[in-house]
Amino acid sequence: MRYLNPRKAEWPEADYVVGNPPFIGTARMRDALGDGYTEALRATHNDVPESCDFVMYWWNHAANLLRGAALECGGHATALAAEAALRPDAASPGRAALRRFGFITTNSLRQTFNRRVLERHMAASDSTGPAATPLSIVFAIPDHPWVDAADGAAVRIAMTTAEAGEHAGDLLRVLAEVPSSNDAANVSLGLQIGRIVSDLTVGADVGAAVPLDSNSLLSSRGVQVIGSGFIVTVEEAGALGLDRVPGIDKHIRPYLNGRDITATPRGVMVIDLFGLSVAEVQERFPEVYQWVRERVKPERDQNNRASYRDNWWIHGEPRRNFRPALDGLPRYIATVETSKHRFFVFLDAAILPDNMLVNIALDDARFLGVLSSRAHVTWALAAGGTLEDRPRYNKTRCFDPFPFPVCTDAQAGRIRELGEALDAHRKRQQALHPELTITGMYNVLEKLREGGVLTAKEKTIHEQGLVSVLRQIHDDLDAAVFDAYGWPATLTDEEILERLVALNHERAEEEKRGQVRWLRPEYQCPETAPTQDNTQQELQLPKDAPAAKTTAGATPEKLPWPATLPEQVQAVRAQRARLGPVTAETIAQTFQGRRSKQVTEILETLKILGER
C-alpha cells in the first residue's frame, strides 16, 4: 500500500504527554506496519534515523513539541509563562502548552541508534541561537521488568520523563526483583539524583565520548550470510571438494557465531565466495556452484533488496571494507555482540565470523589484555546498552572511542603476557573438557567474586575450568592495566568512567593537532608507521598535516610538552620523523617552553638504542 500526502500527526493541545508506544524494533517495522506505512513514516519524520525503533518516533515528536513550547514561551519554563502562551493562533497544537512528556519504551532506548535521538535534543545540536533549547531527562528507570499482557512474555522496559531546560533528575535503578504469583515481580529501587545523560546514567557522560582516529579501520561485525544454504557440515564440505579441489580452502571456511563461542560449538563451515564472479565459481568450483544455486538462490530471489537478489552467490553483508584489515594476520580478536559476560578471545585467521560477533583486527595479546580488563569492561557496559537483560558490545560506542593506555615496554610486555595466559587458559580447559563453556566459567567466576556458595554443578565447572586460576589471571591483568594508565587499582566504576571520558576528550584534542596514537600504524597509517618494532603506541603526525595551527603571517602554535617520559619520547620521535634530519634545537623549538636539554637527552638515548 502506498500512502498519498503523508504528514505528521497533530497531537491535541496539552500540558503533559504520557504514552506507551508499541514495542516494535526497526527490523520488525515492515512486517508489523507494512512497507507503505513504514516508508511514509520515515519520509515524514526524516529527522529520526531509519535505524531507530518505532518508539523513537513518538519520543522525538514529543521532544520537538516540548522544545518548541519552551521557545514560544521565550525560553521561560514556568507554568505562568506556559499558560500565557496558550492562545488561539498558536503555531501548531500543543506547542506552547507542553511542559513535560513521559514514555514507557523498551530498554533498547539506551542503544546507540536510539540514543542519538536523545543526544540531539539534550544537546540542542540541531539548532542554534534562541531555538537551541535543550531538554533534560528529569526522571528515568533504565531497566525494569515488564510482562506483556498479550502473550505473557517477559521483556525489559525503560521509563523516561523530559522537561525543557537544564535540570537534574531522579534516576531509579532496580536493586532486586522477587517473583510474585501473578507473573510480575516485586521490585526494589534505588535512587540517584543528578544530571541524567543519554544512556540513562548519572555521572560520567560516556555518551559524549567521540570516536578516535587511533582506533579507526580495525573493528567490524562479522558477515551476514542471508541464506542458510551457505552453512555446511564438515562432511558436506568434503563432498563439495574441501581437501580435494585446489584453492577451495579459501572459500569453504570454519564458521563461528556467538553461541559457538559462549556455549557449545556447532562444528560447521561456511561457503564464502566473496571476490569471485558467478562465472568463476561455476568454472572453478562446479559442485559448490550447484549447491549454492539450488539452496541459496531460490531464497534470495524472494528478497526485497536488489543487491541480495542480483549477487545471490555472495553473502548479503560480506564486510568488504573490513576484510583488508584481516589480511596477513595469523589471528584476530572477537567478542560476542550480545552476551551476559563481556570477554574477548583470539580467533584463527582461517575462521570467518558471524554477524553476531564484533571483530577487532589486532593480533597482539597486549590489546586483548586491555580489552579484557576491568577498565574496558566497565566502559563497555556503560557505553554499549543492553538487549533485554544482556549487555551489548557496539563497536561504534564501545571500541572506537575507547582510549587505550600508553605503555612503557615493560608495561606492554606484562599485559601481553597476561593476555596470552588468559586466552590459553580458557582454550586449554575447554579442550580438556569439551562440555565446559566460557559462559559457565564466567558464571562461576562472578559467583566467586560475590562470595556465594557454589552448587554441585558449579563446583564441577570450577574444577574443570580452574576458575580460581582464571580469577587470578584477571586480577593480575586488571592491576597491570591500571598501572599502565597510572591509576590506582582502588577506583570505583564511576571513577573509571570519569577518567576514561576525560582521556577520550584529551586524545580527541591531540588528534585535532595531528597527533594520533595509532593502534596498528602499519595498516591504519602506513606512511607514518615506524620502521622499528615498538611496543609503545606511536604518537604520529601525518606527513601532510601541519605541525601546529597557524594563521597568515603568524608564528606556528607550539605543541604542548607531554607530562610523562614515555609520551615525551613518542612526541620527539614523531617530530623527528616529520621534520627529517634536523638538529635537536630545531625539534625543541616546536614544543612549548625551553626543551632543548630534554630533547637532546631523548635523541641521544634513541641513538644508543639503535634509532638514527
The grid coordinates listed for 171 are 534516576
Task: Quickly state the pLDDT bin for 537 (edges 50, 70, 90).
Answer: very low
pLDDT of residue 611: 60
Give 95-138 as a 3 state SS string.
CCCCCEEEEEEEHHHHCHHHHHHHHHHHHCCCCCHHHCCCEEEE
Say yes or no to pLDDT of 122 above 70.
Answer: yes
Average pLDDT, the chain: 85
Segments in 172-266 forming alpha helices (H): 234-239, 258-262
Closest alpha carbon to 439 in 520, 351, 345, 365: 345
Which structural domains are found in the chain, ordered by start?
16-203 (3.40.50), 223-318 (no CATH), 331-512 (no CATH), 517-608 (no CATH)
> Which residues, 6 or more positions from 133, have their beta carbon under 8 angstroms from its beta carbon?
67, 70, 71, 75, 124, 164, 165
pLDDT (tens digit per residue) in 152-207 = 566 889 999 999 988 889 999 898 888 777 667 788 999 888 889 888 888 788 88
In this structure, of 121-130, 189-198, 358-367, 596-605, the range with the lowest mean pLDDT score is 121-130
Task: Quickly state the pLDDT bin for 95 (edges 50, 70, 90).
Answer: very low
Give 287-339 as a 3 state SS string.
HHHHHHHHHCHHHHHCCCCHHHHHCCCCCCECCCCCHHHHCCCCEEEEEECEC
The model carries a pTM of: 0.66
pLDDT of residue 353: 97
How far is residue 401's CA from residue 146's CA, in Å, rounded to a whole number? 33
Say yes or no to pLDDT of 293 above 90.
Answer: yes
Task: Quickly state the pLDDT bin for 531 (edges 50, 70, 90).
Answer: very low
Strand partners, 202: 196
What is the identity of the amino acid at 605?
A: T
Find where cell 537534574 sits: 168
Say yes or no to pLDDT of 571 above 90.
Answer: no
pLDDT of residue 72: 53
pLDDT of residue 556: 54
pLDDT (tens digit per residue) in 438-465 = 999 999 999 999 999 999 999 999 999 9
Helix (H, G, I), strand (E, B) or coil at 425: helix
Across the range 90-115, mean pLDDT stands at 75
Across the range 267-280, mean pLDDT stands at 96
Write phi, then psi, for 40 (nearest 5 degrees).
Answer: -65, -40
Work out the number of other CB atoms within 10 angstroms of the CB of residue 314: 27
How far is residue 428's CA from residue 4's CA, in Å, rounded to a whole number? 63
pLDDT (tens digit per residue) in 408-436 = 999 999 999 999 999 999 999 999 999 99
Largest CA distance in the chain: 83
> Which residues, 6 or more positions from 499, have their beta carbon under 8 angstroms from its beta carbon?
485, 487, 491
Task: Quickly state the pLDDT bin for 545 (edges 50, 70, 90).
Answer: very low
